[in-house]
Structures are given as C-alpha cells and as structure tokens.
Amino acid sequence: MDDEDGYFGKSVAATYDESAAEMFAADAVDPAVEVLTRLAGRGRALELGIGTGRIALPLAGRGVPVHGIDMSRAMVARMRAKPGGDGIGVTIGDFATTRVDGTFSVAYLVFNTIMNLTSQQAQVACFRNVAAHLEPGGCFVIEVMVPELRKLPPGQNAVPFHVSPTRWAFDVYDVATQAMSSNYVDVVDGHGTYESIPFRYVWPAELDLMAQLAGLRLRERWDGWAGAPFTSESHRHVSVWEKPAGEGG
C-alpha cells in the first residue's frame, strides 16, 4: 500500500479505469451526470473522492463548475492527464474533514465511496463537513450498496462476488462492528497475489440519522440513478438529502 495515497496509490491508479470498466460505460455514467446536473442548477458541485474523474469530467463538460477532494495524488494525476482534467480544481485531503473555499449547490459521493470511511465517527464527520459546504437549499447525494447480509447463512462471514481461473474476489463482513473488506486473489503466470481493502458498511436509515445530525433532511431515495423506487429488494440506493433553505454554513 502507498502510505501517501492510502489504498489508491500508483499501482491501483494505473489500472483503475480498466478494472472498473463497467462503471465508466455510458449507461453507468450518463444517468448520474444527468441527476447531478439538475441538482447543481447554476451552482457549483463538490465531489468527495473525485478519483480519476469518472463523474467529474462529464459533469464539468455539461457546464457545471466542479471541485474535488481526494486523498490519492496518483488517482488525481490520472484525471489530470485526461482531456479537461486540468480545468477541475482538486484539494488533496481526507474528504471527511477537508474544507475548501466557497459554497456548493450539490455535493456527492458515488460508487460506495462513503464506505471508504471505516468508522461511524468518520462517516458522521463527512455529513457535517458536507453540510458546512452546502448553500441553503443545496443537496448531498450518496450512491452506495445495501449490505448483502441476507446472503450470509449462520456461521459464514464471506460472500464471493467473482470467481474465475485467474481471480477470486470476496467480501468479508463483521456484523458486530459493521466492518467489512473486499478481498482479491489474482493469479498471473502461476503466481498469486492477495489484496484486502477495508470498508465500513452502512444502512440507509443510519445515513438518514447522520444527515439529521448534520442538519440535513432526506428529500429522495431511489433504487438507482434512473429514479426507480427503492424497495426491500434493492441492492443499492441513491439518496438525496437537502440543507433547509435559510440556514447558513
């Protein structure tokens, strides 16, 4: 692991777009950008965990001024190398606590990135940090998985999500602490490597309470960016919390 960049150092940044290729496809990106463009209106957007610019670049291409916060200089450097990447401001730091200048009409955390904060305390701090950046009436948007604990039979703590002759990938859950990790075993030329990335899973109702502590209120929750209803069978959700109009930072 690269100490400076956390779990998203140079080796991860070099192949990130390819390893998550399905999330860079138009059918994954365009609906998210459409929603964020609408919520931004004529204001600015703040992306927490901007990474290699998967959402920020097309959002900026729609005319929305975007600023990002990210801990990984390597991921940001890859975004900078892309067309339009130099035009997006980025502050290097922990998005749970790092402050930037100005206010924003929308802030967003996509693709499970809220779970990169591995304690409840850090996740609560993130909501409070976002609330301080939002203008009155502004929105905070999170896209995150619903914890797949229904897949765990008694006595089991691992859920495989990829199995092939050259890669095994599985999530490990600790239901007592909500700690989890995604684990990868890759075999190249007969030699295996192992990587484990820690997360903290979080429930929709828990996020709503974090929002309430930060002075935000739930406005909408969908099954995905297309706006389908969120149900007990949903595997993820896109939630929108609003800062009440008339409240300062």
Residues 6+ apart with CB under 8 A from 225: 31, 32, 34, 35, 143, 238
Location of structure tokens 């609906």: 31
Confidence of residue 18 (pLDDT cuts 50, 70, 90): confident
Taking the model in full, what pTM does it have?
0.93
Residue 24 has pLDDT above 70, yes or no: yes
Domain boundaries, the chain: 10-146+203-242, 149-197
Q: What is the mean pLDDT of the chain?
A: 94
Higher per-residue confidence, 14 vs 61 = 61
Confidence of residue 49 (pLDDT cuts 50, 70, 90): very high
Assess if CATH 3.40.50.150 describes domain 10-146+203-242: yes
What is the percentage of the chain residues whose pLDDT exceeds 70?
94
Residues 6+ apart with CB under 8 A from 93: 69, 70, 71
Asked if 138 and 80 touch (Cβ cutoff 8 Å), the reply is no
Per residue in 80-105, pLDDT (tens digit) is 999 999 999 999 999 999 999 999 99
d(CA 162, CA 171): 10
Confidence of residue 1 (pLDDT cuts 50, 70, 90): very low
Tell which residue, 247, 245, 215, 221, has the closest CA to residue 234: 221
Asked if 199 and 188 touch (Cβ cutoff 8 Å), the reply is no
3-state secondary structure of 66: strand
